[in-house]
Copies of this chain bind each other. A is one copy, B any other.
Amino acid sequence: MATTLADVAARAGVSPATVSRVLNGNYPVAAATRRRVERAVDELNYVINGHARALAASTSDMLGVLVNDMADPFFGVMASGIQSAAAAGGLLAIVCNTDGSPQQELTYLKLLQRQRAGAVVLTGGSVEDPEHNRAVASQLSLMSAQGCRVVLCGRPPMRELDAAAAPSVATVTFANREGARALTAHLIALGHRRIGYVTGPAERTTTRHRLEGHRQALADAGLPDDPRLVAAGDYSRASGYDAALELLRREPGVTALVAANDTMALGVCAVLRERGLRIPEDVSVAGFDDLPFSLDAAPSLTTVRVPLRQAGEQAGKLAVGSRPMPPGGLLTLPTELLVRRSVGPAPERSTED
């Protein structure tokens, strides 16, 4: 059906080997011969068969990227950074949606292994399920042993990796704890004492680290860690909305609401708006990530900037090998507190309860 390298060879009056050499440009070929081959390629509209080539050369120019949700800018931006680096390194990035499902994560890894992907980047916080982590770790160890570069982006290093694989697995992570701690400290410095917190989904590293930072700031200030002030979300706007409702019900006296990401913070803002509570005069609100829209929220959202694109680019470079392995295989990118309009001083309140 499709024309093959042999067709081109026949037309150019040379051997298949020569055509291959012209195509790959990795071997000397006489200029005249080269031209004849190139003409034949054009005339026949020849396109090399990537599978045959990958099989014969046992190489692959694919880089797999696993994301929880590509419609979410958090992942979109990271993936875009990875893809740029991959393209610069000559690799074709394959972005796979896991929907945050451990099951699918494993399925896609297997699929990528099948295609003998040259590299794979896992993005976003990982689930803290020991069994699943062991499964992923052994899959990654296997792939690594077969020469696939593996990079973790936006999650902590995996302890479950084989001793053999561990040194070759790079990790790009964010200073989530530090950022969360700085954010809550900022609120406390502004006089807030009853601060509600909306977490991400349970059992995810990102969720835990951000919450730990928040708690650390409370502890630093000698404030109690009241479980009634913590409500669980799942990083979606709707869950932020629901959690804010719940927190307001439990503790009408909160003066600040912190969400573990910007998307949920928008849901929180919506609740306050509907209740007729002013931001930040009545209640301060803060998010995390600094997604593009957070600047345009009403009012602009105080948040913690996470360098998603850079992280993606670094991860991509590690994956294609255009960046040397960092010491210990670990690259920790700093986060930065961004003070904007949604946070203000704690309002004066009559001491109820």
Contacts and interface: CB of A to CB of B under 8 A. Distances in A.
Nearest to A71: B80
Contact of A47 (B97, B114, B147): B114
Contacts of A1: 146-147
Interface string A109-152: 01101111000000000000000000000000010001100000
A336 to B, nearest CB: 20
Contacts of A69: 80
Interface string A295-337: 1111100000000010000000000000000000000000000
Given A116-B51, A298-B297, A77 B83 contact: no
B296 A48 contact: no
A76 B295 CA distance: 20
A94 B48 CA distance: 19
Contacts of A269: 296
B84 A49 contact: no
A76 B48 CA distance: 30
A49 B95 contact: no
Contact of A83 (B70, B270, B296, B299): B70
Contacts of A95: 70, 79, 83, 93-95
Given A2-B146, A293-B296, A297-B296, A80 B94 contact: no
A169 to B, nearest CB: 18
A55 interface: yes
A14 interface: no
A147 B298 CA distance: 50
A93 B114 CA distance: 15
A299 B296 contact: no
A54 to B, nearest CB: 4
A292 interface: yes
Interface residues of A, number: 52
Interface in A36-75: 45, 47-55, 60, 69-73
A83 to B, nearest CB: 5
A67 B243 CA distance: 35
A96 interface: yes
Given A296-B270, A296-B293, A92 B111 contact: yes
B49 A116 contact: yes
A46 to B, nearest CB: 10
A266 B297 CA distance: 9
A94 B92 contact: yes
A87 interface: yes
Interface string A229-243: 000000001000000
B73 A71 contact: yes
Given A2-B116, A94-B95, 14 more contacts: A1-B146, A49-B114, A70-B95, A71-B309, A73-B76, A87-B97, A92-B96, A93-B94, A93-B95, A94-B94, A237-B292, A237-B296, A297-B297, A298-B298
4 nearest CB pairs, A to B: A298-B298, A293-B293, A50-B114, A71-B80
Interface of A: 1-2, 45, 47-55, 60, 69-73, 76-77, 79-80, 83-84, 87, 92-97, 110-111, 113-116, 142, 146-147, 237, 266, 269-270, 292-293, 295-299, 309
